[in-house]
Structure 1
Amino acid sequence: MSLAPWLDACPIVAILRGVRPEEVEPIAAALLAEGLNILEVPLNSPNPLESIRRLHGAFGERALIGAGTVTTEDEVAAITRAGAKLMVTPHADPALVLAARARGLIACPGFFTPSEAFSLLAAGADALKLFPAEAASPAVLRALLAVLPKGTAVLPVGGVGAETIPAWKAVGAAGFGVGSSLYKPGDSAEAVTAKARALRLSLGAA
């Protein structure tokens, strides 16, 4: 399993922080209708494993279902059982990358420094999450990509939205994790549709 085909189809990871199980399917359906097919449920959301189970059951063939804010190996096991295929962490922990890869998950761990990036890649990370991106800049990403192995997929996450995506894309970001600019707790499917369209326009894909 690879992240690359999903990013090629649409490089936005929809971070549904705070989503509730009873609303996750209509929100996901709205995102998929707009071409956003990488869906992440952070584990600090209400009953996240149930949301992941519902997403897997309803959309597992059409979407890449992920879990975010993963911080322990027990959580890696739990998200796998729930049907997640993508693990996202907020921090640089090679042990979690190894645990995810051992279970067949795509691993996209968080990092902020070159040292962290290289240690995660050595553990087998499929992609890297530059977090918090608002504390860095596109210039920082350009410098990182100059020294990381060619083809390393780096996704800025944190403060990323329609206004900032073009600058990150211009320096080589492989994708973008988008949270509050796309979904906030309580948003309707219609509101998410409008935000998703704005994000696609920012990519140059109406």
Structure 2
Amino acid sequence: MSNDPIFAAWQQATRQLPLVAILRGITPAEVEAVGQALWDAGWRLLEVPLNSPEPLQSIERLARRFPQALVGAGTVRTEAEVRQVRDHGGRIIVSPHFDARVVRATVALGMLSLPGVMTPTEAFGALDAGATALKLFPAEAIPPAAVKAMRAVLPAAVQLLPVGGIGPDSMARYRAAGADGFGIGSALYKPGMDAAAVAASARAFADAWAGTMRA
């Protein structure tokens, strides 16, 4: 995997700013302006959940406008959806759950797989299936103490990204417990937010991450 150019792009992006923008509810008409705001704030990981309006169009527009970003889909539940995302330029598959079939289909198509897990059993199953990194979801039910316990038993190289209810003020506690990054949803973008508001939120999260790393 280390020689895979997409995995290398993932490593570079997560070294720079390991925050995944979850743009749930965004429309194709607004996605490029919001994407530009995120790009300018240093975000390189962009996710459009499939329960958004016309998500595949939004993914295609983001992938075309920001070819150096890693664009993908969230709320992916089937192998067919994995193929659709790939066909529209997506390179990341994020799920709220762990399904080995979805992970294997993602890996077979040369894409990055971030399944949602809550327990060590799910985490090791996802890794065995080929997951790139692990989405800890929902983070509201996985406090920093639980992340620390999971970190203790997982391989050190495995990246853990809590998702759900994460704000700039909670990142430091999760980072100290062993989180390697985060997925940021409604605290970053809500349907109807304009690009300027997203830009301000994106900068606040980026600054919080930088502060966490200095701590």
* TM-score for both structures, normalised by structure 2: 0.93
Indicate the SS of the match to 2:155.
Answer: coil
Correspondence for 1:155:
161
Correspondence for 1:7:
14
1:36 corresponds to 2:43: yes
Correspondence for 1:76:
82
Unaligned runs of 5+ in 2: 1-5
Correspondence for 1:189:
195
In the alignment, the residues of structure 2 paired with residue 65 and residue 102 of structure 1 have an alpha-carbon distance, to the nearest angstrom, of: 18
Indicate the SS of the match to 1:204.
Answer: helix
Indicate the SS of the match to 1:194.
Answer: helix
Q: Of the candidates 100, 106, 110, which is equivalent to residue 100 of structure 1?
A: 106
Indicate the SS of the match to 1:203.
Answer: helix
The amino acid that maps onto 1:65 is: V
Question: CA shift at 1:187, angstroms?
Answer: 0.3
In the alignment, the residues of structure 1 paired with residue 198 and residue 128 of structure 2 have an alpha-carbon distance, to the nearest angstrom, of: 37
In the alignment, the residues of structure 2 paired with residue 132 and residue 205 of structure 1 have an alpha-carbon distance, to the nearest angstrom, of: 24
1:202 corresponds to 2:208: yes
Correspondence for 1:51:
58
The runs of 4+ residues in structure 1 deviating greater than 2 Å are none
Correspondence for 2:93:
87
Q: Of the candidates 23, 33, 39, which is equivalent to residue 30 of structure 2?
A: 23
* TM-score for both structures, normalised by structure 1: 0.97
Correspondence for 1:66:
72
- RMSD of the alignment, in Å? 1.1
CA offsets, 1:103-146, max 9 Å, x none?
Answer: 01000100001100000000110100000001110110010010
Question: CA shift at 1:67, angstroms?
Answer: 0.5
Question: CA shift at 1:205, angstroms?
Answer: 5.6
CA offsets, 1:43-84, max 9 Å, x none?
Answer: 000000000010111112x21101000000000010000000
Q: Of the candidates 118, 125, 134, which is equivalent to residue 128 of structure 1?
A: 134
Aligned residues: 205
Question: CA shift at 1:149, angstroms?
Answer: 1.4
Unaligned runs of 5+ in 1: none
In the alignment, the residues of structure 2 paired with residue 166 and residue 199 of structure 1 have an alpha-carbon distance, to the nearest angstrom, of: 11
Q: Of the candidates 150, 163, 170, which is equivalent to residue 164 of structure 1?
A: 170
Question: CA shift at 1:151, angstroms?
Answer: 1.1
